[in-house]
Structure 1
Amino acid sequence: MDRFSEMLAFTRVMEQRGFTSAAETLGISRASVSKQVAALERRLGVSLLQRTTRQVSPTEEGTVYYRHALQILEETDRADRIARAVNANARGVEVLKVAASPEVAEHVLLRYLPAFLQSAPVTSVAFLPEDPALSRTDWGLAVIEDPLETARAEGRPIGRSTDVLVASSPYLESAGTPDSAGALSAHRLLKARDRDGAVWPLIEQHGGTYSVTSDKLLHFADRRSVLAACRAGAGIALLPDYMVDRDLRRRKLQRVLPDVTGAVRAMKLCRPAENRDLRNAILFEEFMCSALSRQR
């Protein structure tokens, strides 16, 4: 028995909550699964499972070991897929289809695209808009923003985004700088119809929450239009930090109420099971994860 087989058997028992079901998923006998888990426990010198006649449950050590073992198995599976993806004998032209919001495509993905195209044998790329009507077979990779408080989507985390309040210096010079979340209601607020409701939910650094709206609302079709209006001095906007970080560095915009933010989202890369082994999607996922980890 090897360590990998023992680890795999244990994780399947954990996931199936039993030896019989685990054996069925692995395609081996129940006795073999039991023998592998027992060998793992002997090697580690700890009990990983509590066994009764009705169920199997993890010990404290088992819970910790499962979490780390699962990461190892996932990385091993990922390594296998990458090796297949970079196979020089791959035939045909495969279009890399990436589903992402226009803002994520423009401000996150496109800055890395030239380097990716130089490093990988990819000839065709198509960026698709976020659209619930899209079939899961229409795209090979999706970049999603999942609100942390309700995060449910599966995927590989690549970072976080936080909505921040921004405005141009000319606007603040003419309209004044708000000194509290409540004071925002006296200002022109710039909103995207496809993203923002009538109220901005805001959070202060110390934990206080506010719901802000104004009689002076300017509505736009999307967040890119909101950003353009904000740069032009039309009002105050609540936008993801990745959309405004360059303007903040260049002092085209400035933060308003730096201790107050909007939603925090987990940014994830997702590949549908239907297109799990698409070569170019695998290569792009690995490239983006590496590039963004170096940036952090």
Structure 2
Amino acid sequence: MDRLEAMRLYTRIVELGSFTAAADDLNLPRATVTHAIKRLEARLGAQLLQRTTRRVRATRDGETYYGHCLRLLADVDEVETDFREARVQPKGRLRVDLPVSLARLLVIPALRDFFARFPQIQLDIGTGDRFVDLVREGVDCVLRVGELGDSGMVGRRVAMLEQVTVASAAYVRRHGLPDALAALRDGHLAVNWVSPTTRRAEPLEFMVGRKRREIALPGCVSVSGVDAYLGCCEAGLGIAQMPRYRIVDALKNGRLREILPAHPPPSLPMTILYPQQRQMPARLRVFVDWLVELTTA
């Protein structure tokens, strides 16, 4: 194993916290990994890693060496990428993570176009709304909806998703169609959305001119999953707010009715997150650009 390969191996061990996980990630035998790190430490004359029964951590020298490795490997990748991109199409495997509904309704139906443009790229798609540690899990990018905290990742906002307030046709027959925000207080119910992070029910939100107004309504059910949220609304259990793209067909066929269109909920930002790196791989750059094109079309 040459020095660059040893550096790449070392950085993955630090990032994953495990010899076994790094070996699996790089498709190397465990014995090869152990031997390579022993040779690396012997060549440098320093202990780089502390091994425990549960985890591998970098020593103080190891942290310093890890920083140097990241910079050197980034320089090498930048040089190779500049030459390679000038001659060949982007290729390789990308691991991406997408919200379930965005994947099913927006991204996956358009993938044939992506592969027609970039036939040498392979995608590994994960779906969910959980927090993803991109570095530790080896994920290249995630697409997320809503306001995001500081994750240390590079964020590129690609679109603002229009939201609507809706209720089922059966709910409207029972409770009526409110014609003003004040009318919501007159016996109306909400399917209450519980934030997975705060575990608190979120109020309904409406834009009155440029101001945001919150209204908390009682409800007989609270949920924290997007499919359950829509399902409860379609079952007539209360009023809900969600991106329009998710319910276009339900609005067209009358299964859901839009409520108070003059005061829509605030739009939701949609953001692509990916690790900070001096040179973005070509396959990641073209996928991010394609997502921007897709979501703003």
Tell whether the structures are fold-level matches, with TM greater than 0.5.
Answer: yes
Q: Is the CA contact 1:166–1:253 (under 8 Å) kept in the aligned structure 2?
A: yes
Mapping for residues 61-80 of structure 1, pairs under 5 Å: none
Question: How far is the alpha carbon of 1:191 from its aligned partner?
Answer: 2.6
Tell me the number of residue pairs that the alignment of Structure 1 and Structure 2 aligns: 213
- Within-5 A mapping of 1:1-296: 84=85, 87-88=88-89, 90=91, 93-94=92-93, 96-121=94-119, 122-132=121-131, 134-136=133-135, 138-147=138-147, 154-185=154-185, 186-194=187-195, 197-207=200-210, 209-274=212-277, 277-293=280-296, 295=297
Q: Under a length normalisation based on structure 2, what TM-score does the superposition of the two structures give? A: 0.59
CA distance in 2, matches of 1:86, 1:129: 36
Q: 1:164 Cα deviation (Å)? A: 1.9
Residues 163 and 267, structure 2, Cα contact 8 Å, conserved in 1: yes
In 1: Cα distance, 2:184 partner to 2:87 partner? 52
What TM-score does the superposition give when structure 1 sets the normalisation length? Answer: 0.59
- 1:176 offset after TM fit, Å? 0.9
**C-alpha spacing 1:81/1:219, structure 2 compared with 1 (3 Å):** farther
Is the Cα contact below 8 Å between 1:201 and 1:209 reproduced in 2? no
1:67 aligns with: none
Deviation string for 1:8-37 (max 9, x for gaps)? xxxxxxxxxxxxxxxxxxxxxxxxxxxxxx
Paired residues of 2:204 and 2:241 also in contact (CA < 8 A): no
Structure 1 stretches of 5 or more lacking a match?
A: 1-76
Q: Distance in 2 between matches of 1:131 and 1:85?
A: 37
Tell me the C-alpha RMSD between the 2 structures.
3.6
Determine if contact 2:220/2:237 at 8 Å carries over to the other structure.
Answer: no
| Residues 196-217 of structure 1: per-residue CA shift (max 9 Å, x gap) | 8434252334245433222324
The amino acid across from 1:127 in the alignment is: G
Give the Cα separation in 1 of the matches to 2:268 and 2:251: 20
Instruction: After superposition, give the CA deviation of every residue in 1:161-215 in whole Å (9 maximum; x if it has no partner).
Output: 2332111222211221122223334222113334584342523342454332223
Q: Given the superposition, is the C-alpha separation of residues 220 and 114 from structure 1 closer, same or farther in structure 2, using an over 3 Å criterion?
A: farther
CA contact (8 A) 1:203 1:209 kept: yes
C-alpha distance in 2 between matches for 1:288 and 1:114 = 13
Distance, in Å, in 2 between the alignment partners of 1:197 and 1:215 is 14
Q: Is the 1:100–1:142 Cα contact (8 Å) retained in structure 2?
A: yes
Q: 1:84 to 1:230 in 2, by over 3 A?
A: same
**Greater Cα offset, 159-168 or 111-120:** 111-120
Give secondary structure in 2 for the equivalent of 1:155: strand
Say which is worse superposed, 254-263 or 241-250, in terms of deviation: 241-250
Shift of 1:273: 2.0
Residues 66-92 of structure 1, C-alpha deviation per residue, up to 9 Å, x if partnerless?
A: xxxxxxxxxxx9xx87972982485xx
Q: Distance in 1 between matches of 2:277 and 2:221?
A: 42
Question: Cα–Cα, structure 1 residues 275 and 197, in superposed 2: closer, same or farther, change >3 Å?
Answer: farther
Q: What is the CA-CA distance between 1:256 and the residue it aligns to?
A: 0.4
For 1:118, what is the secondary structure of its paired residue? Answer: helix
